[in-house]
Structures are given as C-alpha cells and as structure tokens.
A and B are shown apart, each in its own frame.
Chain A
C-alpha cells in the first residue's frame, strides 16, 4: 500500500509545484509497525469467535445493523464530548473535548457515534420499550468482530466519532456486560482504536465488570429511565431505582479515585475520562418539570454527572399504563428542560429559582431564562459596563460567549449598543434588561406584561418550528399534556 502511494506521490510532485512541505518524505514508520485497516473485512456471518449467534441462518450484516440501530435510536445520549486525547500514532483515532457531530439525521439530531445495541433480545419487559420481552419484533445480535469492523470502517471514512454500545439483557445483566466488554476490549487492543467509546453499564451486573469496562470506555451511562421511583415501578417492573443508582455511584467513585491516581502516577490508566451521563424519559409518567429539574440538579450535585439527557416519550407500544400522545412526542417540553438544564450547568441558576411547588411547569411561550427575568424585574436593568459576569449571564439575549466577550471588550473602553450588537448580543431580547452608560436603548416600559408581550411577539427560534411542528400544534399538544397529567394524577 505504502509503495503504491509513493508512486502516486512521485507523479504528483513531478508535474506540480510544491506549495508547502511539512515533510519527512521517507516514511518514518517501518512497514512492520503498520496495522492495515484496509483488508480486515470479515464475511457476513462467518466471523470467527462468533459468540452468540441467536439465528441459525447467518443474518446479513445490513439487516443486523438495521435492527440494532433502529432499536438503539431512542437513546439520546449521542454526544462524543468530554475528553481530549491525541492519537499515539500506533493505531487509529483520537478524541475532541467538545465532541464532533458527523451528520444530522432527518429528525435534525446529531449523528456522532455508531449507536447500536449489542442485541435487542431482552429478558425484561419495560412497557415503554420496543425491545421488551413481550413484543413480537425481529431479534438480532452482533458478534464482537462485527462491531469492531463496523466501527473501524465507519471511523476511517469519517462517518463517526466512535461507538455507542448499549444492549438488551441477554441471559443476565452480567452475561450482557461480559459481551459488551469482549467487543470493547477487542476494539481497543486488537484494533488499537483510540476514538470515542460510550457504553452502558447494565444495572445489576457484577461491579467488577463495570470496573474493567470503565478502564476501556470514555463515557459510561446508566439510564435513570424515569424521573421517579414510582414511575419506574409502573413502567419498568423488572427494574429498581436502587439497582440503577448503585452502578452510578460506583462509576462516580471510580472517577474520583482515578483522578487521584492520575495526580500521583501520571500514566495510570484512566477510568471513564469523559464522565458519566444518564437519560430520563419525559412525558410517559406524570412528574412535573419541577420534579424533573430537582432530580437533574441532584444528579449533577450528588453524582457529579456530566450530562443529564431528556428524551421526549415516543409511543411505540400499546399499553394501558402509557399515555396516548395524539400531539406526538412532547418536544417543546423536552426543549424547555434542556434550556433549563443549561441554566443549571452554565448560567449559575438553581432549579429552585426557576420553578417551585406553586409553579411546577415551564412557560410554554417563554424560555426559562426570560421567564425568570420577568418575574425578577426588580433586579433589572443591569449596567453592561459595570455588572459582574454572573449578573450579565442572567440577562435574556446574552449567552455565555457574548457575556465573556463583553467582559473582555469593555476593558478597552465603555461599550454602547452598537458594540453589543457586534459582540453577538440579541438586542431585541436584551434591551428591556440592560443599560449602556446609564441609558436604555430606547425608552421602554419596565413592566412585566408589556415586556412579556414584546418577547413573545419576538418569535423565538425553536429547534422545531416550521415544518417540525407549528405553534398551533404546540399549544394544542400542551393542553393535551396538561389534561393527561391531571388524568394521571387523579387516577
């Protein structure tokens, strides 16, 4: 291969001008050290060490991929962020702290990882899940080799950032984790894959397996599934809150301990370096936004999670315990929760400031920050040239980046509204809440109703307006939602 390339290169340099040479032209690495990722292809169904072929006839890889990605798609923790790691030159892959998206599917969600289940066989019967035991759906299982091949071949073409591997429960939680471990171990050692790996810890599995997997994975997650223990009891009768929190705690402690080890021995192997995340399903059970945010806040504080994901419930099964959602999945609600989640993580807000027992749900028409600001007009307007960073962060229309730029730019002199516009502040929203050099942008009433009307008139850019869902649909579905909660609570 390298020889071919050398020839090509000659042809090129003969007839073209060298623009820049960054070069060590003689190949630095000797042939023996080079793993070839090219011809590692296995034929379908004939993979060595085939593991658990649950079907007698080998199923084509295409079909397996279809079944096992279709079954994995409801998991929303797709990110590849949290760890920066250069390649070491002996294999394939690196990772980027901010994460990298590689495509966007027709629902507008980011595709970053090869998101698949190891198997969609499952001994459990969670009511919201397409893979539950009682469903009659086609079943399939990958072999560890198939998973490695797909990951490597997708990765080298820049389709993906790495692997997200979850699974239905085959045999027992420990058996399942064992299979996941085998695949991930092979990928890391035989294929020397240094890209991103996210694996699920299966509740109830042997803690030793969780520990070993944590040394290979970048991120681990245990799904909370539903915000409260009661919700779990109704919809996931085989699962217990206790079993979910136990591995979460184990991973948290593993991460802390590992940080100390690395502080002492720089080359200690890292344990879940990108941190852990979780997800909960929104709208399948009757919890309020307030309850959900309180749960999220304590996950961030007590379990030091990197991310909590909220997944608008998509109805895939008929079940009397599940809400019917005539308006489709509660996307606006999910969106508001994500906005509030950002306020917790990056804007210094506490859940208790945003919602309360008396006001348990977010405003449909306003984002949580504007909603908060309108209820605290006594704290506004703030003077852009003097207010501290935390105060500026709380102004609607000013994001983290703009706030940082303001702090920086005002060192070279007082800022005016024109400057703020250049910096990227959304003045249409911010103007009610700020002054520059003591003056407001133009005379305006500082009055809740008046500003509310203006902010609502100022159409918010939702991630799903226009052909996603219209405002009308949104408000309709919200009524449905409320109706459902009331119904659920009263029954």
Chain B
C-alpha cells in the first residue's frame, strides 16, 4: 500500500493548497499525509511530493471549510495553523476530512435531529486529529490573549507607539484588530521580533502587515536594532513623555500590591516570565 506525503509551505495558503491536492489524489485519506517544511525521517515505499502554494486552490479550500464546517471550525483551523508544531498540517487535513464526512451523513441517525453536523466537527474531541486541532488552536488563542493583556507600547520620539513581541505561535493577525479598534487615532507598530513581521496602523487608517529584515528599518522606526531583546537599548529614541509615564506606571505597579498578601508563585502562574522582558513594569533599573 503506497503512502503519499505532500510537503507544503508553512503558511495558510500552503497548507490549504495541500488539502486541495490531497483530495485530488483520489486515494483513501489514510494513505495521504500532509507535512510542512523538511521531512526528517523519509520512509521507504512512501511517495514524497512538493506542493506549491496556489492561491486559487487555497481560496477554494478556505471557502469550503467556512461553508461546510462553519465559522468556529474555520477559526480553530486558522489558529491551529499559526502554531509552530510540525504535525499541524496533517491534523487540519484530517479534521477537514472528518468534518466533510459528518456533513455527508446528515439526515440519518438520531443526533442530526438535535445537532446538525454542520459546525459540529470541533465538538468531536474523540477524533485524535480534531483533538489536536482543538489543542493547537487553544495554544494560539491563549497566547494571543496573553498578548492582548501584556503587550506594551512605548512612545517613540515621533509619536509612534511601538510594541515588540516574541510569540511562540504566529499570533500577530489575531491581536492587531483588537488594538486597531481600540486605538484608531494612533500610529502604532506591533513588531514580531522572531518572524520579523510588522503590523502597521496609521492613525485613522487601516492596518496592514509587512515583513522584512532589519535593513528595512534603517532610517525608519527603530534604528537598526530590530531584535527587541533590549527595550532599553539606546538606539530606540523614546519620547520625553515615555520616560515619565513608564516611571509612573512602574511605581503604580509596585504600590498597588498588598505586601501582607505577597505571592510570587501566583504572580508567576498568572504572568509567565517569558512575557516580562517586553513589559514596561519589569524593566529593572
């Protein structure tokens, strides 16, 4: 029995294209697998194929997922695909298969009366692939939420608000809409320092993403240091008010704690250490 491995580009477009191509194979789905990037352990008797991202195919798959599996499943899938885990493509592919097959069994059996298959695939946590998508999506959603909470803007000399982040999952597109709605009249930049992606929001305008290396910022926003590792780096030119308000907040942060209730462990559970290097109130003197 031949097994097929489709190697996809690690992006929404790449993996959706992979799903399209997997269906094109017209083989039993158990024999077709998706993976992203380099496959480490090549198997004997397996056929490996590169799968070039194709916008038309990807859009078709996205539409099908949205229409047949519902918005919730579509969002879960997008979140799962923001994960850095290598098995995400396979999990999403098999979840789509599971969702579409639930769809076709509609109208027979008892539960369709109470719960039409549409939009129900994510509830089927017994299925290991669905469970994996659920889990990956939850990691991304949690991390996105942490960023909504803990991301910090600093005001640069030219008035732009700048926030560096370093997320494990590619959360930027999940968080920018929140800030765009909240700060419509601000020029702001959110910078994913690991992926070198920038979300730019001009005051009164729509936000968009750009990617680029450090060179693209040479004369621009942040000087040539785009690693975000050190907020206190001299090459960031922060405004006068920035110093004043970051000090005021840091002071507030310390005063507001009740010393009789001090609890470092609880603080650590609620606010994981890895976020602190980007947070104003944890930048030591």
Q: Which A residues have a C-beta under 8 Å from some C-beta of B?
A: 1-2, 4-6, 8-9, 11-29, 33-39, 41, 61-62, 65-66, 69-70, 72-74, 86-87, 89-94, 100-111, 114-115, 150, 153-154, 156-159, 195, 312, 314, 328-329, 331, 405, 408-409, 411-413, 415, 419, 422-423, 463-468
Contact = CB atoms under 8 A, between A and B. Distances in A.
Contact of B185 (A37, A100, A108, A331): A37
Contacts of B280: 157, 159
Contacts of B247: 62
Interface stretch (B28-36, B85-93, B196-204): B196-204
B80 to A, nearest CB: 16
Nearest to A469: B263
Given A107-B267, A153-B241, A37 B186 contact: yes
Contact of B205 (A29, A33, A115, A415): A29
Given A2-B187, A12-B198, A20-B208, A157 B245 contact: yes
A158 B153 contact: yes
Contacts, number: 277
A8 B220 contact: yes
Given A4-B159, A105-B256, A411 B115 contact: yes
A243 B270 CA distance: 38
B211 A16 contact: yes
B264 interface: yes
A90 B115 CA distance: 43
B200 A9 contact: yes
A113 to B, nearest CB: 10
Interface in B250-264: 251-264
Contacts of B239: 38
B257 A105 contact: yes
Given A23-B206, A107-B258, A11 B249 contact: no
A25 B201 CA distance: 10
24 contacts: A4-B159, A8-B220, A8-B221, A12-B221, A19-B210, A26-B205, A29-B204, A38-B159, A61-B248, A106-B257, A106-B259, A106-B262, A107-B261, A107-B262, A153-B241, A154-B248, A157-B246, A158-B163, A314-B261, A412-B120, A412-B126, A412-B127, A419-B125, A468-B266
Contacts of B202: 2, 5-6, 9, 27
A467 B260 contact: no
A247 to B, nearest CB: 26
B271 interface: yes
B118 interface: no
B55 to A, nearest CB: 12
Given A9-B200, A409-B123, A157 B155 contact: yes
B150 to A, nearest CB: 7
A74 B280 CA distance: 24
Main secondary structure of the interface of B (DSSP, over half): mixed
Nearest to B186: A156
Which 8 A-B residue pairings sit nearest by Cβ, starting from the closest?
A16-B212, A108-B266, A29-B204, A105-B257, A408-B123, A468-B263, A107-B261, A106-B257
Contacts of B259: 106-107
Contacts of A90: 184-185
Given A37-B185, A108-B270, A468-B263, A411 B123 contact: yes
B114 interface: yes
A84 to B, nearest CB: 11
Given A8-B221, A92-B185, A101-B149, A157 B249 contact: yes
Given A105-B253, A106-B257, A408-B120, 4 more contacts: A1-B203, A22-B208, A159-B152, A419-B126
Nearest to A159: B249
Interface of B: 102, 111, 114-115, 120, 123-127, 131, 148-155, 158-161, 163, 173, 179, 181-187, 197-198, 200, 202-213, 215-221, 239, 241, 244-249, 251-267, 269-271, 279-281
A28 B159 contact: no
A230 B200 CA distance: 59
Interface centre among B185, B216, B262, B280 (most CB of A within 10 A): B185
B252 A69 contact: yes
B266 A412 contact: no
A465 B265 CA distance: 8
A27 B203 contact: yes
A69 B263 CA distance: 19
Contacts of A108: 261, 263-267, 269-270
A373 B162 CA distance: 52
Contacts of A423: 125
Contacts of B209: 18-22
B270 A409 contact: no
Contacts of A14: 216
A106 B126 contact: no
Contacts of B205: 23-29
Contact of A15 (B158, B212, B279): B212
B248 A62 contact: yes
Contacts of B256: 69-70, 72-73, 105, 111, 115
A15 B131 CA distance: 41
Contacts of B219: 11
A398 B160 CA distance: 47
A18 B207 CA distance: 12
Contacts of B246: 157
Given A22-B207, A34-B204, A150-B248, A94 B182 contact: yes
Contacts of A467: 263-265
A157 B124 CA distance: 41
